[in-house]
Amino acid sequence: SAVIRENFFHAIRPAFGGKLNAPQVAGMNAILDAAVSAGLSDANHVANVLAQVRRETGGYMFPIKETVMPGHKDKNPSDATVIQRLDRAYAAGKLTWVKSPYWRDGWFGRGPIQVTHRANYAKVGRAIGEDLEGDPNLALRPEIGAKIAVIGLRDGLFTGKKLGDYSFPAALDAPPSKNPRRIVNGKDGSDAEVARFHRQFHKALVAAGWDGGAIV
């Protein structure tokens, strides 16, 4: 109900410094909608999606393009700007893990949890029923980005690890090799931060009355 959704935002607002902007609200609403549609009934699973998205978007909670940082006022730079930024970083030796510049044909990261490389756009698109390979910018639509995040974490589309592989909340305190942050990313030093976000979201969901689809 609208009341339950309102209660969720009231409960989570302190975790965002006491106020939420329009993209944050829209992004979280889209994730909750996608969770209901995908049958993601466990409040811990929904909380983990929200927590991972918070880390991946720098708190913006809305789909972004690769290279967009929390301090950037322009949250939707042109594709050319993104490619230029990545080219500069690559030339400076900052992208040591990159074997070939995947972004030059436009296959840079997009979404609340970013999809990169053409093959991954195709794979994730098939999984969520959207032609992301035909139009990668679909990942920037909040409702489609939310499906990427929810179904991606549920089904292990990002790293092969999925929500069902972990026992919550105990897994939040697991060492890096067994931590649920591995669902989205490698050992990036963010395990404790994402665990803290998870607990904040879980507390807010429970306070709002999430019971496996009550937030509709």
| Average pLDDT score over the chain | 94
| Whole-number pLDDT of residue 216 | 46
| Whole-number pLDDT of residue 212 | 60
Q: Which tens digit of pLDDT belongs to each residue from 114-157?
A: 999 999 999 999 999 999 999 999 999 999 999 999 999 999 99
Helix, strand, coil percentages (3-state) for the chain, rounded to 5, are 55, 0, 40
Q: What are the Cα distances from residue 176, in Å, to 75, 119, 137, 192?
A: 31, 27, 32, 10
Residue 79 confidence (pLDDT) above 50: yes
- What is this structure's pTM? 0.94
Q: How confident is the model at residue 100 (pLDDT cuts 50, 70, 90)?
A: confident
| Structural Rg of the chain based on CA atoms | 17
Q: Which tens digit of pLDDT belongs to each residue from 180-197?
A: 999 999 999 999 999 999
In the numeric block, which tokens belong to residue 58? 């720098």
Residue 76 confidence (pLDDT) above 70: yes
| Structure-token match 């700007």, residue found | 81
Residue 80 confidence (pLDDT) above 90: yes
Residue 215 confidence (pLDDT) above 60: no
Which backbone phi and psi does 65 adopt, to 5 degrees? -95, 155
Q: How confident is the model at residue 210 (pLDDT cuts 50, 70, 90)?
A: confident
Q: What are the Cα distances from residue 96, in Å, to 52, 89, 101, 116?
A: 24, 10, 11, 16
| Mean pLDDT of the 2-21 span | 94
